Amino acid sequence: MSDEPVFHREGELVVPTGHARGPWHPGQLHGGAPAALLAGAVQDLAPEMQVARLGYDFLGPVPLAPLRVEVRIAKAGRRFQLAEGELAGEDGRTLVVVRAALLRRGDVAVPQASRFDAPPPAGGPADSVAAEFPVPPGDDPRAFQRTAMDIRFAGGGDFGEGPAQAWFRLARPLVGGEPLHPVARAAAAADFGNGVSRVLDFRTHLFTNVDLTVTLVRDPATEWVMLDARTVAETTGIGWAASTLHDERGPIGAGQQTLFVDSR
């Protein structure tokens, strides 16, 4: 990993670097950066539990500015816990909210037919290739989709339009000096579904996600997470992106995004 992290922690605040920047505006974050940040904070609340569902609502653009993270257990329990949290600006305005289901990790005998053990489609990360992001960088080339994530497309794909299968790995620390939870890897990758399987041109349309739901049956076992993603967009100005999440052993869950679609 490179040295400069996606975020620095400064007292009670988390300060994003340029590696958290998204593709829509140079002063706004990619959704995967705050999603990963909140996922890690939720996992810290109950390290022994499996984060089985993360439901995010993005209440507006997240600025490239100091942020405050707050998470708490809303419902405690030995088998099931519910966590809630938010990401806010220095002014106290809430920018992202998350609601998470945490389940007891167990060792349960289940029939082989009911398990996710299929190998990843189109090969693993070693068989996949990088592709140039279709929007030119600005004055500062740092961005979450360029310098924070190592992205490789499987099956001969690229950032073109249509369904895609792409592997993701964080290329640098998420928060400087702090360990990275596997669930944060999954959340960081899941927010790319609408980008890698886009059906519209970045130059002519907006197709930003207003939410993200991630469901996991287990944590990714390696650094790499793959999205098998597809997007649909309607003349209503609403779109939907859905992804199956894989690690190098097989499927681990799913991601879903509701999209706001508009002409630029």
Contact 99, 84 (CB under 8 A): yes
Mean pLDDT of 80-108: 95
Tokens of 11: 């007292």
Least Cα distance to 33 among 69, 3, 1, 2 occurs for 69
List the CATH code of the domain at 7-104+122-263.
2.40.160.210
Q: 60-78 pLDDT, tens per residue?
A: 999 999 999 999 999 999 9
Q: Report the C-alpha gap between 230 and 78 in whole angstroms.
A: 37
Please, where are the H alpha helices in 55-156? Answer: none
pTM of the model: 0.93
- With a cut of 60, say whether residue 1 has pLDDT above it: no
Confidence of residue 155 (pLDDT cuts 50, 70, 90): confident
